[in-house]
Amino acid sequence: MGDDSELELRRKRLLYRSIYRGNKENDILLGQFARAHIAEFSAAELDQYERLLAIGDNDIFDWIAGKVAVPAEMDTAVVRRLLAFRVRF
């Protein structure tokens, strides 16, 4: 499989994981965010997004809601895009 095919398969898997999180609010927000941006993510940005999806729903929701600050190790370009996206959402 070529690099493009692998990236496309990875994008599809991450989109699925974004939509079916288990927490309805995150399903909606992450699903919409992924639909809007995942096609343009580079391999490095997909790595960042995959790390984000490994975080628990409650933590992600608290970051998005502004209840707690995003930890320094998770302050990535993708997370900053997500936070900017939620303002428009």
pLDDT tens-digit map of 50-84:
999 999 999 999 999 899 999 999 999 999 999 99
Q: How many CB atoms lie within 10 A of CB 4?
A: 8
Flag the least confident range among 3-12, 28-37, 49-58.
Answer: 3-12
Q: Which CATH architecture has domain 3-88?
A: Orthogonal Bundle (1.10)
Domain edges within the chain: 3-88
Contact 38, 49 (CB under 8 A): yes
pTM of the predicted structure, to 2 decimals: 0.89
How many CA atoms does the CB half-sphere of 5 hold within 13 Å?
2
Q: Residues 41, 11: contact at Cβ < 8 Å?
A: yes
Instruction: Give the model's pLDDT for residue 87.
Output: 62
